[in-house]
Amino acid sequence: MREEALKSNTPWICVSCYHCVVRCPQNIHIPDVMYTLKDMAVQAKLVQDSTAPDFSQTFVDMVEEYGRSFEMGLASRHYMKHFPLRLANMMPMGMGMLARKRMNLAPTRIKNMKQLKAILKRAKELEAKQ
């Protein structure tokens, strides 16, 4: 059962729209269950399709580096790896976003990156202890 649950793609296809939370007659917080299953599947290395976990990890890498999300870096890294054939179809959107300055070519870094890094380092140590 454990392996079946962790290998399932259900948690990864969940977009956390929270419909289930407000409809569940037993007040089960299903999206939080999904988030937990995702964490556990990554830890147990039981993820079957790496598209979604890679996207999350790339997003997290950007945030840990800059303190902000960086769409240009995220999109290019993710599409190159997982959807190289879609790049041609994506061009009009990408160019449109760049022309309107809706996508930045360079990342923005927060001022006190040192503080954020220290907090995240400590948080990871505490997470490992649990």
Chain residues that interact with other proteins, rule: CB under 8 A? 12-13, 15-19, 21-22, 29, 35-36, 38-39, 42, 51-53, 55-57, 59-60, 63, 67-69, 71, 75, 78-79, 82-83, 86, 89-90, 92-93, 95-97, 99-104, 108, 110-112, 115-116, 118-124, 126-127, 130
Q: Which residues contact 109 (CB under 8 A, 6 or more apart)?
A: 66, 67, 68
3 vs 24, beta carbon nearer other proteins: 24
- Asked if residue 116 lies in contact with residue 67, where contact means CB atoms within 8 angstroms, the answer is yes
Least distance to other proteins, CB of residue 84, Å: 13
Least distance to other proteins, CB of residue 6, Å: 14
46 vs 116, beta carbon nearer other proteins: 116
- Asked if residue 46 lies in contact with residue 57, where contact means CB atoms within 8 angstroms, the answer is no
Helix locations, the chain, DSSP H: 2-7, 10-13, 19-23, 30-43, 51-66, 71-82, 87-99, 113-129
